[in-house]
């Protein structure tokens, strides 16, 4: 690409279905419809420009990341439809609704009392607002704090503030544990993060890049971002010259890339990352979302770093 919207959103950020949901509190109560909700949640609630008079019971999610967030905070039972790219957790009610080309009429047909999405494509927010359908926009996170904020706000809107707070704390604790588990090195390891086979990458200023920096890694793309976008396109020659210690592939599903295909590229067979089996195939979905599975992405990177012999 220039990475597609899906892959960009996923990278700015840049890896058991309901296991990510925080356990409900012992004093949780049942609503009249049977949906669990945290105790002492009083409506109406307001988050930004969104006000809900009652707990939403028919949520439509048009973003894979927000789908994962909703299930992680135990609001999954309130989700009646998700977009065609939402593939986690496996029990999410996937439909043919599109988050990239959202159709107000198709969305309204689900009779939602809350729509959650990541982009105001086709002026969809205004269209749904005209139909008196509340909309919460959760744009691609620029920092991990953005992720925590979105989880917290979704918890408020859906009636699960306790579960959201628990999920945020779980992520904070696990990320801190991962970062402290990586030993410091006299000479930092370098890495190349591939978004697609035309060598689009990301810098340390992006969501994923900032997390990888906390592992003590040096990004070879940082000096190539002349336009300051955070997503420069490198050249094969520049990557070969930089000879990174690690290569992370975030284009395995979309573009069929693997350690084997990398090794077959002209001039790449002798790269340190290739000769020492330090090319890491990532799950595109996990690498492109900024929700709870960011912990999995960071753990994969930390595991790769740990396998590199100390200098």
Backbone angles phi, psi at 209, to 5 degrees: -60, -40
Q: Yes or no: say if 71 and 21 are a contact pair by the CB < 8 Å rule.
A: yes
Q: What sections of 90-160 are H helices per DSSP? A: 104-108, 124-130, 144-158
Across the chain, what does the average pLDDT equal? 90
Are residues 22 and 42 in contact, defined by beta-carbon separation less than 8 angstroms?
no
160/255 Cα distance (integer angstroms): 38
**Would you tell me how many other CB atoms lie within 10 Å of the CB of residue 289?**
32
Nearest to 155 by CA among 235, 264, 59: 59
pTM: 0.87
* % the chain with pLDDT above 70: 87
In the chain the domains, ranked by start, together with CATH numbers, are 38-159 (3.40.50.1980), 185-307 (3.40.50.1980)
DSSP label of 200: B
Give the count of beta carbons closer than 10 Å to the beta carbon of residue 228: 8
User: Is 284 within 8 Å of 6 (Cβ atoms)?
Assistant: no
In this prediction, residue 200 has a pLDDT band, given cuts at 50, 70 and 90, of very high
- The residue that leads in pLDDT, 41 or 80, is 80
CB 39 within 8 A of CB 27: yes
Partnered with residue 284 across adjacent β-strands are none
In the predicted structure, residue 24 carries a pLDDT above the cut 90: no
CA-closest candidate to residue 6, choices 95, 92, 83, 89: 83
Cis peptide, bond prior to residue 44, ω within 30 of zero: yes
d(CA 98, CA 112): 15
Give mean pLDDT, residues 27-33: 37
Q: 221-234: per-residue pLDDT in tens?
A: 999 999 999 999 99
Crossing angle for the helix pair 144-158 and 161-181, to the nearest 10 degrees: 160
Closest of 285, 288, 281, 275 to residue 303, by C-alpha:
281
Measured CA to CA in angstroms, residue 233 lies from 128, 191, 199, 248 at distances of 37, 15, 6, 15
């Amino acid at each position: 690409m220039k990475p597609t919207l899906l892959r960009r959103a996923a990278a700015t950020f840049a890896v058991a279905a309901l296991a990510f949901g925080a356990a409900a509190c012992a004093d949780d109560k049942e609503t009249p419809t049977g949906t669990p909700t945290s105790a002492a949640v009083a409506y109406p609630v307001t988050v930004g420009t969104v006000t809900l008079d009652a707990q939403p019971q028919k949520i439509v999610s048009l973003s894979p990341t927000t789908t994962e967030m909703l299930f992680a905070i135990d609001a999954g039972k309130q989700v009646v439809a998700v977009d065609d790219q939402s593939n986690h957790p496996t029990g999410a009610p996937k439909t043919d609704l599109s988050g990239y080309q959202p159709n107000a009429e198709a969305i309204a047909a689900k009779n939602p009392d809350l729509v959650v999405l990541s982009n105001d494509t086709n002026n969809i927010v205004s269209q749904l607002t005209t139909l008196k359908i509340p909309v919460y926009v959760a744009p691609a996170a620029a920092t991990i704090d953005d992720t925590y904020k979105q989880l917290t706000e979704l918890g408020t809107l859906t009636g699960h503030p306790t579960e959201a707070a628990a999920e945020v704390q779980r992520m904070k604790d696990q990320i801190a544990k991962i970062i402290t588990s990586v030993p410091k090195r006299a000479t930092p390891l370098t890495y190349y993060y591939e978004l697609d086979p035309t060598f689009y990458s990301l810098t340390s200023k992006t969501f994923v890049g900032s997390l990888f920096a906390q592992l003590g890694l040096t990004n070879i793309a940082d000096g190539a971002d002349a336009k300051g976008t955070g997503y420069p396109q490198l050249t094969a020659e520049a990557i070969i010259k930089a000879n990174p210690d690690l290569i992370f592939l975030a284009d395995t599903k979309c573009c069929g890339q693997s350690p084997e295909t990398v090794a077959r590229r002209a001039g790449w067979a002798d790269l340190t990352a290739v000769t020492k089996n330090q090319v890491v195939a990532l799950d595109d979905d996990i690498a492109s979302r900024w929700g709870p599975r960011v912990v999995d992405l960071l753990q994969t990177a930390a595991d790769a770093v740990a396998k590199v012999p100390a200098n």
